[in-house]
Amino acid sequence: MGQAIPEVNETRYLLAIESSCDETAAAVIRGDFHVLSNVIASQIAVHAAFGGVVPELASRHHIVNVLPVVRESLVQAALVDPSFEGLASLGGVAVTAGPGLVGSLMIGLQAAKALAWGLNLPLIGVNHLEAHLEAAFARLTGSDVGEAPPVPHLALLVSGGHSMILDVRARGQYEILGSTRDDAAGEAFDKVAKMLDLGYPGGPIISRLAVAGDPTAVRFPRAMRRHGELDMSFSGLKTAVRLYLKDHPKLSQQHKADVCASVQEAIVDSLVTKTLDAMKLRARKALVLGGGVAANPRLRERLAAACQERGLSLFVPEMALCTDNAAMVAVAGARRLAEGRIDGMALDARARWRPEQMFTPLSLGS
């Protein structure tokens, strides 16, 4: 453990900012990926009334939250003292540059640019998906520090906007083996929760209700089951739930829990089957999980059991590092910095950033 990082090390830290969607987050890590602070201002209460993220409201709340969150992350990392001398311990500023809501991204980006410029530090743009893929390398101080994932490994990235299976040959070198043809896994959870009138965000609510439900109560479809087919699809599941609810307009609490457990099982089943197929196809022995849906207890449990049975090792980020956070951005940023991938002040926000282009330099014109 503890990759050598020239510019950021045990005594030089990296500050990171994340604002791609509805969480304003800032973190400070050491060069060995130990997280010194990981602060998140959630906007769930702001958007819950609308059943989903309202981009304009998200931008406005990022503006209000970004500096207090950054300050808090510096205070928690013991870098803010009356003379601000602690800031001299910083070796760089990383920031999520995309993909995400462009107005939201802009706020974090401008804050990061101002700090990098003011403190004369390198600025590092990070792809949000790559940050999720690297979350398992972060080490929360005080937690049971396990081993860092080895490379090569296979990765399952499941968030609100993306679902992908990737072959990670080395850190930062990815081959996409499969991805969703329509909805992402998290999106499927969220949309089903909306149909059931459960609130937002749907994933955690469904997984909570599912605990009391029977996962075999309703057999919802598992799409694209052909062996070796690594692409996924969740839109058929959504339609099946809609039709089911049309036939069962009034659900008891137990019936609702059964539907939640059954939907969750269908999503988890697809993810687990395809991931195991990919592991076999590429003869990989280690699996890394990332993205908000990685916080789903049933997915974690099913993958852990399957990996144990097959003698594979599984690396799952701490719960707090699965959903959007800045510690994962810091980890990916520290690695990019070590590779000399520094961005200039021309760094721009990218609402869309195709996964295939994840690893190109970020500066304007690239």
**Binding site residues, Zn ion, CB under 5 A:** 159, 324
| Minimum CB–partner distance for residue 317 and Zn ion (Å) | 12
Cα distances from 136 to residues 111, 171, 216, 242, 302, in angstroms, run: 26, 12, 32, 35, 18
Residues 6+ apart with CB under 8 A from 333: 14, 16, 92, 94, 95, 124, 126
| Minimum CB–partner distance for residue 260 and ligand KG4 (Å) | 10
Alpha helices by DSSP H, listed for the chain, are 44-48, 55-76, 102-119, 128-134, 185-195, 202-210, 235-247, 253-282, 297-310, 327-338
Query: How many residues sit close enough to ligand KG4 to count as binding (CB under 6 A)?
Result: 21
CB 28 within 8 A of CB 77: yes
The CA-CA-CA angle for residues 80, 61, 46, to 5°, reads: 125
Q: What are phi and psi of 216, to 5 degrees?
A: -100, 5
CB 58 within 8 A of CB 104: yes
| Minimum CB–partner distance for residue 321 and Zn ion (Å) | 11
**Which pair of tokens denotes residue 197?**
């009138």
Helix-, strand-, coil-residue percentages of the chain, each rounded to 5: 45, 20, 35
Span from 59-67, 85-93, 141-149, 159-167 in contact with ligand KG4 (CB under 6 A): 159-167
One character per residue 178-197, x = contact with ligand KG4 (rule: CB under 6 A) = --------xx-xx-------
Nearer to ligand KG4, 52 or 152 (CB): 52
- For residue 203, state whether it binds ligand KG4 (rule: CB under 6 A): yes
| Minimum CB–partner distance for residue 39 and Zn ion (Å) | 16
| Minimum CB–partner distance for residue 110 and ligand KG4 (Å) | 21
From the list 244, 261, 203, the residue with the least C-alpha distance to 52 is 203
| Minimum CB–partner distance for residue 21 and ligand KG4 (Å) | 6
| Bridge partner list, 54 | none
**Which pair of tokens denotes residue 193?**
């929760």
Nearer to Zn ion, 55 or 221 (CB): 55
Burial of 309 (0-12, 13-18, 19+ CB in 10 A): exposed
The residue behind tokens 């926000």 is: 349
| Minimum CB–partner distance for residue 329 and ligand KG4 (Å) | 12
Nearer to ligand KG4, 122 or 204 (CB): 204
Q: Give the one residue of 288, 323, 341, 362 binding ligand KG4; rule: CB under 6 A.
A: 323
Span from 46-54, 66-74, 108-116, 198-206 in contact with ligand KG4 (CB under 6 A): 198-206
Nearer to ligand KG4, 210 or 347 (CB): 210
| Minimum CB–partner distance for residue 9 and Zn ion (Å) | 27
Q: Give the one residue of 31, 91, 178, 201 binding ligand KG4; rule: CB under 6 A.
A: 201
| Minimum CB–partner distance for residue 43 and ligand KG4 (Å) | 12
DSSP 229-290: ---B--HHHHHHHHHHHHH--S--HHHHHHHHHHHHHHHHHHHHHHHHHHHHHHT--EEEEE
Nearer to ligand KG4, 213 or 291 (CB): 291
One character per residue 101-140, x = contact with ligand KG4 (rule: CB under 6 A) = -------------------------------x--------
Q: Which does 203 bind (CB under 5 to 8 A by kind): Zn ion, ligand KG4, none?
A: ligand KG4
One character per residue 16-55, x = contact with ligand KG4 (rule: CB under 6 A) = -----x----------------------------------
| Bridge partner list, 153 | 168
Residues that bind ligand KG4 (CB under 6 A): 21, 132, 159-161, 186-187, 189-190, 201-204, 207, 291-293, 295-296, 323-324
